[in-house]
Amino acid sequence: MGEVPKHYPQRAGTRPFDALLKDSGVEPILLPPRSPNLNAHCERFVRSIKEEALSQLVILGERALYYTIHQYLAHYHTERNHQGLDNQLIAQEGEVGCQMGPVVRRERLGGLLSYYHRAAA
């Protein structure tokens, strides 16, 4: 069984979202007001994607938003260090950790997100 959606009931725009969930047969769990620590991992991810990508771009349309989120998620999981993991990557690729070879920059979102690694010699 999947996760049950949790959200704050006082936030604007939650009524249509609740209706969509109920029509799909999902009953959301309402969180008490002013309790961000109940959902700390989600809150931190939302803050990261907003600060590092969404607030830096002018997004025109759903397709552009989808592309931006997809690119950020790929960066987040394979190219971004995480303090909670001793500054390691979540999903390391084969090229990570090479000691020899030139340093290569991989760009995402037009250079907004950058990842540097050594190319295999």
77 and 88 in contact (C-beta within 8 Å)?
A: no
Residues 58 and 94 occupy one common structural domain: yes
Parent domain of 44:
35-118
Whether pTM > 0.75 for this model: the answer is no
Residues 61 and 96 occupy one common structural domain: yes
Per-residue pLDDT band at 50 (split at 50, 70, 90): very high
* pLDDT at residue 1 tops 50: no
Residues 23 and 81 occupy one common structural domain: no
Residues 50 and 102 occupy one common structural domain: yes
Residues 12 and 43 occupy one common structural domain: no
Residues 94 and 80 occupy one common structural domain: yes
Domain count, the chain: 2
Residues 28 and 61 occupy one common structural domain: no
Cα–Cα distance, 14 to 28 (Å, whole number): 11
Render pLDDT for 57-101 as a digit per residue (tens, 0 to 9).
898 999 999 999 999 998 888 888 777 777 777 777 766 666 788
